[in-house]
Amino acid sequence: MPEQLEFFTIPSPCRGVCQSDARGYCLGCFRSRQERFDWTGMNDSQKKDVLRLCRQRYLRLARAGKSGESLEADPDQPALF
């Protein structure tokens, strides 16, 4: 099957928090350090994979019941998920 054309680029999920947790994931967007560094060089398929992983990390943290700034919606920033 041919690949579907993408008309819009996938924007960075950065929320401007730029702090890492103990495991090395950003508290704002849940990307790893390497994922943050490589974002501009990734193609759309790779970016979608990273966003899928970020969503999984977010849900894992939410299920663990850890509350904090990273799980609350910031009124100045749109929700990432």
Instruction: Calculate Rg over the CA atoms of the chain.
Output: 14
Domains of the chain: which residue ranges? Answer: 39-63
CB 81 within 8 A of CB 60: no
Q: Quick one: residue 6, left, alpha or beta (phi over 0 = left, psi -120 to 50 = alpha)?
A: beta
Place 80 in a pLDDT band, splitting at 50, 70 and 90: low
pTM of the model: 0.70
The distance from CA 25 to its chain's CA centroid, rounded to whole angstroms, is 9
Q: Between residues 70 and 32, which one has the greater pLDDT?
A: 32
Question: Phi/psi of residue 20, each to 5°?
Answer: -105, 145
Q: What does the pLDDT read at residue 59?
A: 95
For 12-40, write each residue's pLDDT tens digit: 999 998 899 999 999 999 999 999 999 99
